[in-house]
Amino acid sequence: MHLSAALLLSVLPLGALAGLPHQGSLRRRHFEHARSVTRRGPTYKLVDDYNKDTFFDMFDFFTESDPTHGRVTFLGKDDAKKANLTYVQDDGTIVMAVDDYTTLSPGQNRNSIHINSKKKYDAGSLIIADMWSMPHGCSTWPAYWTVGSPWPDHGEVDILENVNEATFNQITAHTGDSCELQNSVKTTGRLVGTKCTSSADSNSGCPFVTDQVQGNLTYGRGFNMNGGGVFAHTWTNDAITVWFFPRGQVPQDITDGNPNPDNWGTPAALFQSSDTCNIEQSFQQHQIVFDITLCGDWAGAAYASSGCPGTCDQAVADPNNFKFAKFKLAGLKVYQQQ
């Protein structure tokens, strides 16, 4: 059972309320019990710490046209900072946002961000993102993902993604070579498509959806009202495994900086090698990506069926629709298996 929004608000600092940052000593008894049953598998060493002092310097800012045809203009590093789309709060929270103050005409692009890590990662990596809140709202299409180049030959893994006012997350893999997942994997997410092979004309990938687990805490408003949570994923030559831990249920080993995936229980998604999918060949040299686009191939196409008013272009024109179109992170860490 998760904490109520009222109780969570009562334990958060005032500066955190917009994105509901900062976890205290929640679920202490649960963590103390977990320590007594901890199993120890491979050990991990911290290799990159994307924190309040280093975060934006460790990313390149993508400024080309949105490849998903979103109604956005992605700003460069200096312009994004001047426009107040990227900044660090006084409490250390890292913020990435959409312009929420400029009134536009329908059909005009709104300023936003798309960043790619300067460093590339490969098998043996464990990536942990601690997030206080995420963008949501009509026309929004936020994503936290990793991707190799060329796409799709070196693969893509969407860790956090959905559109408009969705209430659940979709964790998806995309590959170039033929990759078909097996239905026999045990996950908390629901596998709704087994064909990971993707192209420009067929880009659904193989998604796990979290619509039947953890209430509405995995995405959007529900995620934010619960204070967010932690996304963690391991990458080996045999599998890419993704977990999500709502605020108040984050394993103590993650908090302590000594992550132990063997003790994290059933994952939300599992992309595993088999006779019909070669993980080692399909995923190579990934950059970490955060972006917020608007409308486009998915949010635009799903706009009318999402219960949103008017048209997607009309939503983009009104800055009041983007007060909650922000990523707010405590930090992101990359570990390497020893």
Q: 275-317: per-residue pLDDT in tens? A: 999 999 999 999 999 999 999 999 999 999 999 999 999 999 9
Burial of residue 213 (CB within 10 Å: 0-12, 13-18, 19+) is middle
Q: When comparing pLDDT for 42 and 329, which is higher?
A: 329
Confidence (pLDDT) at 40: 67
What confidence category does residue 331 fall into, taking pLDDT thresholds of 50, 70 and 90?
very high
| The predicted structure's pLDDT at residue 289 | 98
Q: What is the pLDDT of residue 156?
A: 98
Over range 128-155, report the average pLDDT: 98
Output phi, psi for 300, to 5 deg.
Answer: -70, -45
pLDDT over 60 (residue 31)? no
The length of the chain in residues reads 338
| Mean pLDDT (whole number) for 109-117 | 98
Is 286 in contact with 127 (CB distance < 8 Å)?
no
Tokens 């080309």: give the residue: 64
Q: What is the pLDDT of residue 24?
A: 38
State the Cα–Cα distance between residues 169 and 212, nearest whole angstrom. 11
How high is the pLDDT of residue 41? 75
CA angle, residues 83, 85, 89, in degrees to nearest 5: 115
What does DSSP say about strands 59-61 and 269-272: parallel, antiparallel, or unpaired? unpaired
Taking the CA of residue 324 as centre, how many other CA atoms within 13 Å lie in the half-sphere pointing to its CB?
19
Q: d(Cα 284, Cα 99) in Å, to the nearest integer?
A: 34
Amino acid letter for position 217: L
Query: Is 280 a residue of the active site?
Result: no
Task: Calculate the average pLDDT of the chain.
Answer: 90
Order of strands across the sheet with 170-174?
59-61, 114-117, 287-294, 140-147, 156-161, 170-174, 206-209, 190-191
What letter represents residue 188's amino acid? T
Residue 2 has pLDDT above 60, yes or no: no
Options 161, 165, 180, 280, the catalytic residue: 161
pLDDT at 29 over 70: no
Is 26's pLDDT higher than 80? no
Catalytic, out of 32, 156, 165, 280: 156
Q: Annotated catalytic, 156?
A: yes
Reply yes or no on whether the pLDDT at 272 is more than 70.
yes
